[in-house]
Amino acid sequence: MNTDIFVHYLDFKNSVPAASTLNEDGSYSIFINSRLNNEQQADGYIHELEHILQLDFENRDRCVDTLEYYAHKIG
C-alpha cells in the first residue's frame, strides 16, 4: 500500500467538509473545503483519513452509504 497522502484546499462552494480519492499511482488525495473554519477542516481531514486507514477504497463492492454509516458510527 502506498502511504502517500496529498492534502489540497479547495473552495467547494458548499458545506461539504472534505472528500478523498485513491489516485492512479496508489497514493491518496484529501480535498479540504477552504471555506470552513480550522476545526471543521480538521474534522473533515480526520474523517477522510479514517476512510483511507480502514481501506474503504479497497472495499469497492460495499455501498458508499454503508461505508459512511460505519465511519460516522465509529468516528
Cell 474534522, residue located: 43
Tell whether the model's pLDDT for residue 74 goes beyond 80.
no
Instruction: Please give the Cα distance from 10 to 32 (Å, whole number).
Output: 6
Cβ proximity of 47 and 74 under 8 Å: no
State the pLDDT at residue 56.
Answer: 85
The domain segmentation of the chain, as residue ranges, is 5-74
pLDDT in tens, 10-52: 999 888 999 999 999 999 999 999 999 999 999 999 999 999 9
- The beta strands (E) that lie in 1-75 are given as 5-10, 18-22, 28-33
